[in-house]
Amino acid sequence: MIVDFHSHTCESDGTLSPQELADFMDERGVDVFSISDHDTLAAYGAFTPRGTARVVVGIEINTTYRENEVHVLGYGITPDHPQMCAMIERNIAERRKRIDTMISRLQRAGYSITFEDVAREAGVAKALGRPHVGKALVRAGMAPDLEWVFRNLLRGGKPGYVPSKHVTPQEAIETISRAGGVAVLAHPGRLKDRAIINELAECGLHGLEVFYPRHDGSDIAAFRAFANRHGLVMTAGSDFHDIRYHAHGVGMVVDDADIAPFLDLVL
């Protein structure tokens, strides 16, 4: 089966519109997919799936915990649930504060971009992020490409770096559950502190994104074993944002048996 439960549109930090991404899923033969934009559900209602593809409502909540950026995916949620809406608005407000601070630090370092420059790159997206800052710098001719920006300006210890300050993963898991959804830890292999996975498994986490482009064979084996031990479902996602930086495109081939427990919860 070809599935993809982790992808992004221009409603957050991707480049395709919701309909363009849905069309790309169809082109790649994806059977079931989610659009999981950061801290927004705005893509839903803005696309029509092609062919026989099934859609699971999804979102990626950015959280912060013990100096780790921890991303929690929520599936099958009620979009207008009051607690979910409040959490999204809180994260969006924190994103704006972070971007303002980032711009101030970059200006002091000699990079004269403005909030308006960043907002222009974000377009319709309310969930502002570092890619929008990076694109503004590139467009202004102050950097050659996004990779250079992240390497030299926007990561830890660099002039424009500002740590995230979002809700905690525990709050995200609780809110997703209250909104009738399934909470899944995104790309666990990217965590600096993998002990966090054990903590979240004891706080109501439902699943792990076991199948992910940057997970190697040993990662997949370890996360599969962990999911089995803790009774967690397994998911798969490409984390697609832009074909220029995600050459693998969309869609992950997985065994039906691996993904069936998750589909039983959300379809």
Domains of the chain, first to last: 2-86+165-266 (3.20.20.140)
* Structure confidence at residue 259 (pLDDT): 98
| CA-to-CA separations, 9 to 26, 36, 42, 237, 262, in angstroms, rounded | 15, 8, 10, 14, 23
pLDDT of residue 181: 98
- Report if pTM > 0.85: yes
CA distance 18 to 23: 9
pLDDT tens across the length of the chain (267 residues): 999 999 999 999 999 999 999 999 999 999 999 999 999 999 999 999 988 999 999 999 999 999 899 999 999 999 899 999 999 999 999 999 999 999 999 999 999 999 999 999 999 998 999 999 999 999 999 999 999 999 999 999 999 999 999 999 999 999 999 999 999 999 999 999 999 999 999 999 999 999 999 999 999 999 999 999 999 999 999 999 999 888 889 999 999 999 999 999 999
pLDDT at residue 244, rounded to an integer = 87
Query: Positive or negative CA dihedral for 74, 78, 79, 84?
Result: negative
Rounded (to 5) percent helix, strand, coil in the chain: 40, 15, 45
Signed CA dihedral, 134, 140, 142, 144: sign only: positive
